[in-house]
Structure 1
Amino acid sequence: MNYNETSEKVMMLLKEKEVCSSSQKSHRDCYESLGLFIKQRDGSYSDAIRESWLAEIKNELPRQRCAVWVQYVYQLEEMDFTGTISDRRLYLSRSNYDKLPALWRKDLDVYLADCSSRYTARTLKLTRIYCSEGLLFLDDMGVHAIADITYDAVIKLIGAKMYCSDDTKAMILNNTARMIRFYGEKGLCPMNYSLVLKCQIYPHIGSVSEFSSENRRALDKITDVTLSADEFHKTITPFIKILESHGYVGTTLNLARHALTALYLFLDMHFFGFHQDIMWIWFAEINRTLGHSWRHWRRVLKFYEDYTLIGDIHPDGKYKYDPIMFDELPSWCREAISGLLDQKKREFRDAGTIKSYRCSCTRFCRFLVDHGYENFNQLSPTIIKEFSRYDEHTTFQGRSGCFVVVRAFLRYLAEKGYVDNHSLDVCLMSGTAPQDKIIDVLSDEQLQRINTFRAEHNEPIELRDIAIVLLGVRMGLRAYDILALRFQDIDWKNRQISIVMKKTKTQITLPLPVEVGNAVYSYITSGRPKTGTEYIFIRSKAPYGKLTGKVCTKALYRILPERKDVKGGGFHVTRRTFATNLLRNNAGIDDVMDALGHRDPTSVMKYLLLDDERSRKCGLSLDRAGILMEGGLA
C-alpha cells in the first residue's frame, strides 16, 4: 500500500460524499497519527504496523475514539483493495442494522426476539451488531432471504475480506451461524450451513476442486456407496456412544465428532454418499491442514471404519496404514507363502515367529519377481546365490536368520511339488555357530532399590510398574505371561498362580509370595481403572484394554533407569535373576526347571555359572589337571 496516496483517496471520497466536516477532521487526525507512527519506524504500512499502532493509541486515547479510528484504518485497507469504500463502512453514524433491507431486518428481529429471554441486554446488542454485518455481506452476494442461502454463499462469506480483526470476523461468522441454525431448526434452510460457518471446522471440509487429479479420478470411479450423506450423519452420535462405552472421554470424543462432521459436510456439499474409499481419499487430501493431530484423526477414522463393518471398534487393534509388501506379491507367491505360514501356525509357532517367516519369504519372493520370475519352477542355485549376495541385512545374525527361513521355505516348496529340484535349500548357509553369553542379572543393590520403590511410590502407574516387576523378579514370569494374567488365574485363598505359558504351552502353578500378592492387590484396588475386562494389567487411559508391547520393559526402566544403557537389558533380566537366586539358595536343577516351566535342563545350566559359592567347590588343582607351574611364589 502507498499509504499517503491511499489516505488522500479516502479524504477525497469523503468530500465527494459530502461527509460532515467533523468526520473529515477525525479521519485526517487518524491518518496523520498513523502516518507519523509509520515514519518513526522507517517502514511501510502492514498488518504488524497497524496492530502496533492500535495497541499504542488504546493507552492514550478515549475508548470511543479508538473504536472509531479502528474503523477508519479498515476503510484505508478497503480503499486500497477495492478502489472505493462501501456505504455501510463510510457512514458510521448509521448502524449496520439500519442499513439492512427490510426482509433481512424482519428475519433478524424474529431471531433476536427468541434470544431475548436467554441473553443479557449487552449480549443481545452485540448479537444484533454482528448478525447485521454478516447479513449485509450476504445481501451484497445476492442472497436476500434465509431461504436463498447456499453452500456457495456461505463459503464466500467465510472468504470475504471484512476489513476487521480476525476476532471480530470470527464473532460475525459465529453469530450469523447461530441465526442460520435457528432458522434451520424451523425447516426454513438446511442446518448444515451453520456448521460450515464454524471457524474451526471449515478448514477441514475440503473441496474436490482442490484435490489431486489422481484422487478426483478415483472419486469418479466410486459408485457403490454404502450410506447416503444424511444416513452417514445419523451414525455419528451412536458411534460416539460406542467410544464412550470403551472409556474414551474429552479430546477423543470431541475430535471424533469434529472429524466426522467435517466429512459429512464434504459429502453433502459435493453430493457424495459414504464409502470407505471416499473417506480415505478425503483424509489424504485434508491431512495437511491437521498439523500434529493427523495421526489421532487417522485412528478415529479407523475406529469408524470398524464400526461400519462390525458395529463396534477394536480398541486394542494395531492398525496398518501402508500397503503390506506381501499383499503386493503375485498370487503364485502369496499362495506358497500362506501355505508355509499355515503349517507353522499348526505347529503352534508364536505370532512373532509367523511374522518373521512372512517377512523373509516375502523378501525372497520380491527378489524373484524383480528378476522376472513367474513361477517357482524357474528357481536355480544361481538365483538363490544371487539373493544371498544382495540381501539387505546389515548384520551377520540378521542375514543368517533370514536364510534359515528361506531354507525352510525352499524345503516346503520341494515337499509340495512347487519345484523339481529338492536340494535348493543347501545353497544357503544354515545358521550361525552357537554362542555362549555372560548371563546378566540384577545386583543386590538393584533388588533393594526395587523394594524401596515399592515402599515410596503409590501413583497408579507406579503401582502397576512395581507389581509387574515383582512378578518377574520373585516368580520368574515372562513379560507376555504377566500381561496375559487374568483374575481367574490367581487363587488368593491358596496363594498361588496357575497359567498356561504362552511360549511352551506348559501349564504351571506357582506359589504367590506375600510381597507380590500385596503389590498386585494394591494395583487392583488403588491403581487399576474400573472396567470389566478380565485382564489384571490394563491401560491407564481409555481404551482400558490389555497391555501390549514393551510395557514390562518400560516399567523396569522407570524403576532402574540405568538398565536402558545395558545391551539386551530388557525385562527378561528379571526371569534370569529369579532363576539365579533359586540356584544360589541351593535349589536343585529340577526345582528351577519346574519354577521356570522348562522341559529341558540345558537352558538352566547357564545359570550355574553365577552361583559363585558352589562353583568354587568344583575347582580342580593344577596337579590333578596335569598343569605344571613354572617359577615360584613372588
Structure 2
Amino acid sequence: MYQNYDIGVNKIKKYLGENCFSNSVIYSHLHCYRSFKQYLVEKQLIYTHEEALKWLNLIKSSWKHSKFKMFRLSLFHLNDIIINDSIHTDSYVYENSSNYDRLPDWSRLLLDSYLNHISNSFSKGYVRQHRITCSEFLIYFSLIAAKSVRDINHKNVIEYFNQSKHRNVQSKNLYNCGIRHFLKYLSDKAFILKSLSYTLNPFVICRVIIIDELPNSEKTNYINCLNQTSIEISPDEYYSIAKELGGIYLERHNYSKTMKNLFKKAWRELYIFLEANGINYSYKIAHYWCVCLKEYTVQWKAYRRSIKLFEQYREFGDINPNIVYSYKEYSINILPGWSRRLLIDFLLKKQKEENSASTVNMYRSSCLRFLKFMDKKEILSCAMISPKIIKEFHVSDPHSTAEARNAYSVRIRQFLGYLADLGCVPATLQLALTTECAQKSVIVEILTDKEIASVYTFKANAKNSMELRQTAIVLIGLRMGLRASDITGMKLANISWKEQTISVQQQKTNKFLKLPMPVEVGNSLYRYIIDGRPCGDSHYVFITHRVPYGRLDTSCCKRALAKVLDKKKTGFHITRRTFASRMLKTKTNTETIAVSLGHSDNSTVFKYLSTDADTMRKCAISLKGIELKGGMLL
C-alpha cells in the first residue's frame, strides 16, 4: 500500500547523502516522512500530495515556524520525486506552488501581468516573494467565491486583513506591504478603486467606517447628513484638491513636518471612507465623520481642522492658518428667551463699562450657571425667582474652593442688582446669595536673590529660539513689571528702539502705560526678534513657534518662568511682585512705583512693604511689658 511512498523516501535519502546535505537536514526529512506515514496508517489513508498538505496544515500550529517550513519542503521533495523522479532545487517553487496553482484564471492572469510588470525593475527573489504574497491574497478571494477583479472591494480587503494569520506582526506587515503594491498596480490600471491601495495599512484599516455595518442609530445619522447635503463633489475630485493643498500650500505656510503628515493622513482616510461607502464629499458628511472618529483616534480634532483647511482652500484658493474655529454652540443660545435677552443686555452693559474680555467672560459663565439652574427648576420669568430658589442654587452649585464660590456669587449678585434696577426683581433679592469667607491677607512671595541670579545665568546660556523667547519674557516681567497678558499682547509697534521705551494698553485696566526699556531687556528682545522669532505676518512680538504663528497664550509666560528657574513657582505674577519689591528696596517713592505698575493710586503698593525686610525691622514694636516670666505656656 505504501510501496511507492517508501521508494520515494529512499530516493530522497540517497539524493541528500550524495549531495552532501547535513545530518540535521537528512534527519528532519526522515522524521517528517515517518510522522506522516504514521498518520496515514492510523487514518487508513493512501498517500497523496493533497493529503500531505492537509496533514501539514492540521498540525502546523503546534510547531515552530522553522520546523513547519522544513516539513513542508520535505513533503514537496517527496511529491517531486514521485511524480517527476527529480527534486527541484528552488525552494520558492514549493513554498507558493499550492496557492498559485489553485488560483482561478481571472486572478492568475492579473498576478502574472503584475509579476511581468515588476520583473524588469526588480530581482528574481523580489518577484518570487511577491508571487507568494499576492497568491495568498488572491486565494482568499477565490474562497469567498469572487468572480472577477470587481469583487475586490474595501469590505473584502478589511475581512482579509482581519482573518489573515502570520507568525508575527513583522511578517504580516511585510505581506501587506507587497499586497499594497499589487493593489496600486490594479488601481493604476483602473481595475479597482484607487483608495484600496491605501486601505491595507494596520494604522488605517482599523478606522475605516462602513456605514452599512453600523448600528441603526449611527447609520441613520449618516443618512441624515447625506439627505441634508446640497453641494457635493466626487471622491476623486475631492482627493485631487486635497493632494494639491497638501503638496503646495502646507509647505508655503511653513507647517511642520508632523502637521503636514497628519493633515495628509486625514484627507487620505476621508477619501477611503468616501470610496468605501460609495458617497460623494460634502462638508457636512466630512464633519460628522471626524466627530465619529472620537471612538478610533485621539487625533480626531486635528482631522476636523484638516477639513476646515480643505474648505478654506476650496472656497478661497488658499488657506489662512490664523483663523480659529469654534465648534461649540454659543452657550447663551441654549437659554430660554426671557433669560437670554436679559443676560445679553447685561453683558453689553459690562462691555460699555470698559471691562476686559476676560472679565465679561467671567460674568457670562457665572450668570449662565445661575440661569441654567433657573431653567432646570422651570422658572419662566423673573417674577418666579425667590430667595428660596437662590439659596437652593447656592448650595447645589459645585466649586473647588470657597473663594471660587465667592467669585461667582459676586457676579451673580451684580446681575440680580441689574435686574432690580430694571424693576424685574426686588432690590433685596441679591442678599439671598451669602458670602462664605472673608478676604485673606497673604504673605507676598517674591523671587530670591539666588533665583534672580539663575535668570541671568539662563540668559547667558540661551541659544535656541525657545530659550531666547523664554529669556525675553521673564526679563520683561522681572525688570519692567508687566503682566503676562500685556507681554503676550505686546506688538512690534509698541517697541520704540529710538526712545528705548515699551508702550502697552493694559488689558486688565485698559489704561495706557509707557515704560523705559532697560538695556538688558532691549538686548534680549532684539536677539529674540532677529535670531529666534519665526518669520510670519503676525504683529505680535511673542508668537508660537509652530504654524499658525499666532499670539501666545498667557500660560506660556508661567511655563517660561518655570523653565528659566528650573522649578515651579506660584505663577508669573511673582515677577511683577519682585519688580515692585526691588523698587521699594531702592527707596523709590510709592507714587513712582504705582505709575510703573500702571496702578491708579499707590494704595496697592503697601502690600509690598513686608518684602523690604531691612526697613521693616526699623518699625519693630518693643516687647517691653509682655516679657515671658516663667510658668507653663499653654
Mark yes or no: TM-score above 0.5. Answer: yes
Compute the displacement of 1:578 (Å): 0.8
Compute the displacement of 1:274 (Å): 3.7
* Paired residue secondary structure (2:97): coil
Structure 1 equivalent of residue 115 of structure 2: 112
**Residue in structure 2 matching 1:523, options 522, 528, 539:** 528
Distance in 2 between residues matched to 1:484 and 1:92, nearest whole Å: 69
Any conservation in 1 of the 2:263–2:306 contact (CA below 8 Å)?
no
Structure 2 equivalent of residue 380 of structure 1: 386
Compute the displacement of 1:364 (Å): 0.9
Distance in 2 between residues matched to 1:313 and 1:431, nearest whole Å: 51
Residue identity matched to 2:593: V
Query: Which residues in structure 2 correspond to 1:213-252 (within 5 Å)?
Result: 213-222=216-225, 223-225=227-229, 226-230=231-235, 231-240=237-246, 241-252=248-259
Any conservation in 2 of the 1:337–1:361 contact (CA below 8 Å)?
yes
Structure 1 equivalent of residue 402 of structure 2: 396
Any conservation in 1 of the 2:40–2:47 contact (CA below 8 Å)?
no
Distance in 2 between residues matched to 1:384 and 1:253, nearest whole Å: 52
Structure 1 equivalent of residue 492 of structure 2: 487
Task: Identify if the C-alpha distance between structure 1 residues 269 and 16 changes in structure 2 by more than 3 Å, giving closer, same or farther.
Answer: farther
Residue identity matched to 1:203: C
- How high is the sequence identity, in percent, across the aligned residues? 29
Residue identity matched to 1:459: N
Residue identity matched to 1:258: K
Compute the displacement of 1:183 (Å): 3.2
Compute the displacement of 1:487 (Å): 2.3
Structure 1 equivalent of residue 207 of structure 2: 204
Structure 1 equivalent of residue 21 of structure 2: none
Query: Which residues in structure 2 correspond to 1:358-437 (within 5 Å)?
Result: 358-416=364-422, 419-429=424-434, 433-437=438-442
Comparing 109-118 with 346-355, which one deviates more in the overlay?
109-118
Distance in 2 between residues matched to 1:193 and 1:588, nearest whole Å: 76
* Paired residue secondary structure (1:190): coil
Distance in 2 between residues matched to 1:289 and 1:11, nearest whole Å: 53
Structure 1 equivalent of residue 481 of structure 2: 476
Task: Identify if the C-alpha distance between structure 1 residues 221 and 14 changes in structure 2 by more than 3 Å, giving closer, same or farther.
Answer: farther
Any conservation in 1 of the 2:96–2:135 contact (CA below 8 Å)?
no
Comparing 577-586 with 158-167, which one deviates more in the overlay?
158-167
* Paired residue secondary structure (1:493): coil
Compute the displacement of 1:604 (Å): 2.0
Compute the displacement of 1:203 (Å): 1.2
Compute the displacement of 1:146 (Å): 3.1
Distance in 1 between residues matched to 2:381 and 2:488, nearest whole Å: 43
Distance in 2 between residues matched to 1:617 and 1:126, nearest whole Å: 90
- 1:504-535 CA-to-partner distances (Å, cap 9, x unmatched) read 22222222212122222232333333434332
Distance in 2 between residues matched to 1:135 and 1:406, nearest whole Å: 70
1:54 aligns with 2:68: no
* Paired residue secondary structure (2:443): coil
* Paired residue secondary structure (1:94): helix
Distance in 2 between residues matched to 1:599 and 1:509, nearest whole Å: 14
Any conservation in 1 of the 2:266–2:306 contact (CA below 8 Å)?
no
Distance in 2 between residues matched to 1:631 and 1:181, nearest whole Å: 94
Comparing 212-221 with 270-279, which one deviates more in the overlay?
270-279
Distance in 2 between residues matched to 1:390 and 1:102, nearest whole Å: 74
Structure 1 equivalent of residue 557 of structure 2: 552
* Paired residue secondary structure (1:520): helix
Residue identity matched to 2:478: V
Structure 2 equivalent of residue 76 of structure 1: none
**Residue in structure 1 matching 2:273, options 263, 266, 278:** 266
Task: Identify if the C-alpha distance between structure 1 residues 163 and 70 changes in structure 2 by more than 3 Å, giving closer, same or farther.
Answer: farther
Query: Which residues in structure 2 correspond to 1:135-534 (within 5 Å)?
Result: 135-161=138-164, 166-222=169-225, 223-225=227-229, 226-230=231-235, 231-240=237-246, 241-290=248-297, 294=298, 296-305=299-308, 307-308=310-311, 326-416=332-422, 419-429=424-434, 433-534=438-539
Compute the displacement of 1:471 (Å): 0.7
Structure 2 equivalent of residue 133 of structure 1: 136
Task: Identify if the C-alpha distance between structure 1 residues 408 and 234 changes in structure 2 by more than 3 Å, giving closer, same or farther.
Answer: farther
- 1:178-203 CA-to-partner distances (Å, cap 9, x unmatched) read 23322322333322222223333221
Structure 1 equivalent of residue 576 of structure 2: 575
- 1:211-263 CA-to-partner distances (Å, cap 9, x unmatched) read 34332222232212243352433342244355444433333322222233222
Distance in 2 between residues matched to 1:557 and 1:283, nearest whole Å: 36
* Paired residue secondary structure (2:447): coil
Any conservation in 2 of the 1:111–1:179 contact (CA below 8 Å)?
yes
Distance in 1 between residues matched to 2:37 and 2:269, nearest whole Å: 42
Distance in 2 between residues matched to 1:451 and 1:92, nearest whole Å: 70
* Paired residue secondary structure (2:115): helix
Q: TM-score, normalised by structure 2?
A: 0.78
- 1:346-382 CA-to-partner distances (Å, cap 9, x unmatched) read 2232232222211211111122122221222212233
Structure 2 equivalent of residue 84 of structure 1: none
Distance in 2 between residues matched to 1:275 and 1:168, nearest whole Å: 39
**Residue in structure 2 matching 1:65, options 67, 70, 89:** 70
Distance in 2 between residues matched to 1:169 and 1:628, nearest whole Å: 88
Task: Identify if the C-alpha distance between structure 1 residues 630 and 496 changes in structure 2 by more than 3 Å, giving closer, same or farther.
Answer: closer
Compute the displacement of 1:407 (Å): 1.3
Compute the displacement of 1:168 (Å): 4.3
Residue identity matched to 2:417: R
1:123 aligns with 2:138: no
Compute the displacement of 1:18 (Å): 2.0
Task: Identify if the C-alpha distance between structure 1 residues 13 and 246 changes in structure 2 by more than 3 Å, giving closer, same or farther.
Answer: farther
Any conservation in 2 of the 1:248–1:542 contact (CA below 8 Å)?
yes
Any conservation in 1 of the 2:366–2:411 contact (CA below 8 Å)?
yes
Q: TM-score, normalised by structure 1?
A: 0.78
Residue identity matched to 1:106: L
- 1:284-315 CA-to-partner distances (Å, cap 9, x unmatched) read 5444443xxx1x23233134236426757775
Compute the displacement of 1:204 (Å): 0.9
Any conservation in 2 of the 1:453–1:559 contact (CA below 8 Å)?
yes
Comparing 449-458 with 10-19, which one deviates more in the overlay?
10-19
Compute the displacement of 1:280 (Å): 5.0
Residue identity matched to 1:334: R
Distance in 1 between residues matched to 2:96 and 2:274, nearest whole Å: 44
Distance in 2 between residues matched to 1:7 and 1:370, nearest whole Å: 81
Gaps of 5+ in 2: 1-34, 78-91
Residue identity matched to 1:586: K
Compute the displacement of 1:601 (Å): 1.6
Compute the displacement of 1:97 (Å): 4.0
How many correspondences in the alignment? 575
Comparing 267-276 with 501-510, which one deviates more in the overlay?
267-276
Gaps of 5+ in 1: 36-44, 59-63, 73-88
Any conservation in 1 of the 2:211–2:222 contact (CA below 8 Å)?
no
- 1:556-590 CA-to-partner distances (Å, cap 9, x unmatched) read 112224543xxxx2111111111121122222223
Compute the displacement of 1:477 (Å): 1.1
Distance in 1 between residues matched to 2:609 and 2:106, nearest whole Å: 95
Compute the displacement of 1:116 (Å): 3.2
